[in-house]
Structure 1
Amino acid sequence: MNYTLHQLLVFQKVVETVSITKAAESLHLTQPAVSIQLKNFQDQFDIPLTEVIGRKIHITEFGQEIAVLAENIINQVQAIDSKTMAYKGQLTGRLKIAVVSTGKYVMPYFLGDFLNEHSGVELHMDVTNKSMVMKSLENNEVDFALVSILPKAVNLEYLDLLDNDLYLIGNTRSSLNEKMDPEEIFQEMPLIFREKGSGTRQTMERFIEGSKISIHKKMELTSNEAVKQAVLAGLGYSIMPIIGIKNELVAEQLRIISVKGLPITTKWRLVWLKGKKHLPLPLAYLEFLKKEKEKIASRFFGEVTAEKEILKKEA
């Protein structure tokens, strides 16, 4: 047999994702390239590793066993790389973080300096909704997660990174009269929600229930970006984190509508399972954040803080 490490990596990723397309995206390869490497790897075995049923790829029992061995080989190779880098005094390995979708506006800024300082570190960041983030965390599949609302059912430790302020927003063409009381405002407007399981959705529902407001017109979209585009297009209004709309506010495409009870402020928190024994890499990252988080927040999010202070004065 003459299979390569690259073929093992491709096969392991196909098994992990059960998809040629997703494996290609994860490895930053084209789908044909993944298919060719998978075929070349398969050609070295007399027993099928995969089979396609109804246009969906399935991993055979033999393939699952080979995948376990492939992962062990890959881990051993990474261990060799880690030892080599360690002797040079450098951190190496894979840092795995799950991020709620709105957190994509936050997390990269708290990673940049660390990754630039440690070139041997590989980042795996999964951006998805809150329920999937918590599933990854509970299954111990990631080192950390970024959330804005702490779940009650999971025992976690956390580090606060940044305020998360949510306001009622509309586009600048809106003729909504802010002098109406909240009940009238929310009956008048179509309100755009995130999907169930979203932290932003939970915050919106908590505000509506606490304010005893009835919503008569609403729609539901599955990403923060989709909600923003819908508001820009004039389809309705939404309660959104200011962190994700700062450019549109500066460009005067969106405006904040003053309503009693808003903004709601939560915290962007890096969380991990209570009692988790961190490996050297995630432990080093945690120490980096404890030391540098204030500087990062000031450097990259200072204008958001300034905007918030202006809004407080206007209110």
Structure 2
Amino acid sequence: MNYTLHQLQVFLKVSEKQSITLAAEELFLTQPAVSIQLKNFQDQFPIPLTEVIGRKLFITEFGKEIAEAAQKILDEVHAINYRTLAYQGNLSGRIKISVVSTGKYLMPFFLTDFMRQHEGLELIMDVTNKLKVVRALEKNEIDFALVSVLPEHLQIDRVELMENKLFFVGGTQEELKKSHSKRHLFETRPLIYREQGSATRNAMEAFISENNFKTIKKMELTSNEAVKQAVVSGLGYSIMPLIGIKNEIKNNDLRIVKVSGLPISTTWNLIWLKSKKLSPAATAFLEYLNEEKEAIIQKHFSWIKEY
């Protein structure tokens, strides 16, 4: 057998996602490139690793065993690379972070300079909804999680990063009268929600419940970007984090509608399990944050004070 490390990486990602399309996206490859590597890898085994039923790809039992072996091989390769870098006196290792979807507008700015300073580090950042972020933390699959609502059932430590403001926003097609009450706004306009499990969805529903609004229509979309585009197009209104709509506001594609009781203000927190033994890389990142976070906020997020 002459399979390559690249083929192992491709097959492992396909087995995790059970999708060539999703694997290609995460590996930054084209779908044909992933398909070719997957076929070349499978051709080296007399037993199928995958099967397609209908239009869905499944991993066979034998394929699952090969995926486990591939993970062990790749872990050993990473370990060799880390040991080499450590021997040379460089900080090495892997940092795994899970980020709630809106956090993608925030977290990269707190990582960029740190990663540049330590070229031997590898970063894995998963962007998903709050439920999956907390689940990954609970299972100890990650080093850190970025959330705006702290999980009450876990014993955690945290670093507060910055304020998170949520405003009522709409497109610029409709002219709203200043005399509209917030009840009139919420009960006569279609509202667009994030999916169940989203912290933004929870905050929006809590605000509506506290004010006893009776919404007449709602839509549910599965990402902040989808909600944003729906609002821009005029499909409806929503409560959204300010951090994710900066460009749309500046370009006059979105506008903040002033509503009594808003914005909702929470805090972005980087959290980790209190019982977790942090790696040298993770510890170094926390030290970096404590020293540099104020400068990062001032450099990249001072515009938030305008709202």
User: Which TM bucket (shorter chain)?
Assistant: over 0.9
Paired position in structure 1 for 2:160? 160
Q: TM-score, normalised by structure 2?
A: 0.92
Amino acid at match of 1:277: K
| C-alpha displacement of 1:279 | 1.5
For residues 240 and 182 of structure 1, the distance between their equivalents in structure 2, rounded to whole angstroms, comes to 16
SS in 1 for 2:153: coil
Q: Which runs of 5+ in 1 are unaligned?
A: 309-315
Paired position in structure 1 for 2:138? 138
Q: Deviations over 1:200-247 (max 9, x none)?
A: 111111111222322223322222122222222222221111111122
Amino acid at match of 2:259: V
Q: Does 1:7 align with 2:35?
A: no
Paired position in structure 2 for 1:37? 37
Q: TM-score, normalised by structure 1?
A: 0.90
Paired position in structure 1 for 2:61? 61
Q: Relative to 1, partners in 2 of residues 1:253 and 1:10: Cα closer, same or farther, differing over 3 Å? A: closer
Paired position in structure 1 for 2:199? 199
Q: Which runs of 5+ in 2 are unaligned?
A: none
For residues 291 and 275 of structure 1, the distance between their equivalents in structure 2, rounded to whole angstroms, comes to 24
Q: How many residues align?
A: 307
Q: Does 1:283 align with 2:265?
A: no
Q: Deviations over 1:47-67 (max 9, x none)?
A: 333333334333333332232
For residues 59 and 173 of structure 1, the distance between their equivalents in structure 2, rounded to whole angstroms, comes to 48
Q: Does 1:228 align with 2:253?
A: no
SS in 2 for 1:166: strand
Amino acid at match of 1:16: E
Paired position in structure 2 for 1:311? none
Paired position in structure 2 for 1:89? 89
Amino acid at match of 2:213: I
Contact 2:99 2:133 in 1 (8 A): yes
Q: Deviations over 1:103-142 (max 9, x none)?
A: 1111111111111111222222111121222222222222
Paired position in structure 2 for 1:170? 170
Paired position in structure 2 for 1:264? 264
**For the aligned residues, what is the CA RMSD?**
1.9
Q: Relative to 1, partners in 2 of residues 1:42 and 1:172: Cα closer, same or farther, differing over 3 Å? A: closer
| C-alpha displacement of 1:264 | 0.8
User: Where do residues 287-302 of structure 1 align in structure 2 (5 Å cutoff)?
Assistant: 287-302=287-302
SS in 2 for 1:111: helix
Q: Relative to 1, partners in 2 of residues 1:48 and 1:258: Cα closer, same or farther, differing over 3 Å? A: closer
Contact 1:171 1:254 in 2 (8 A): yes
Paired position in structure 1 for 2:98? 98
Identity over aligned pairs, percent:
59
Contact 1:178 1:258 in 2 (8 A): no
Q: Relative to 1, partners in 2 of residues 1:66 and 1:231: Cα closer, same or farther, differing over 3 Å? A: closer
SS in 1 for 2:152: coil
Q: Relative to 1, partners in 2 of residues 1:42 and 1:257: Cα closer, same or farther, differing over 3 Å? A: closer
Amino acid at match of 2:67: A
Contact 2:188 2:215 in 1 (8 A): no
Paired position in structure 2 for 1:49? 49
| C-alpha displacement of 1:153 | 2.8
SS in 1 for 2:145: strand
For residues 191 and 228 of structure 1, the distance between their equivalents in structure 2, rounded to whole angstroms, comes to 12
Paired position in structure 1 for 2:20? 20
For residues 32 and 251 of structure 2, the distance between their equivalents in structure 1, rounded to whole angstroms, comes to 42
For residues 161 and 207 of structure 2, the distance between their equivalents in structure 1, rounded to whole angstroms, comes to 23
Amino acid at match of 1:214: K
Q: Relative to 1, partners in 2 of residues 1:5 and 1:297: Cα closer, same or farther, differing over 3 Å? A: same
Q: Relative to 1, partners in 2 of residues 1:265 and 1:63: Cα closer, same or farther, differing over 3 Å? A: same
Q: Does 1:240 align with 2:237?
A: no
Q: Relative to 1, partners in 2 of residues 1:45 and 1:180: Cα closer, same or farther, differing over 3 Å? A: closer
Contact 1:178 1:185 in 2 (8 A): no
Please identify, of 254-263 and 88-97, the stretch whose mean Cα deviation from structure 2 is larger. 88-97
| C-alpha displacement of 1:197 | 1.1
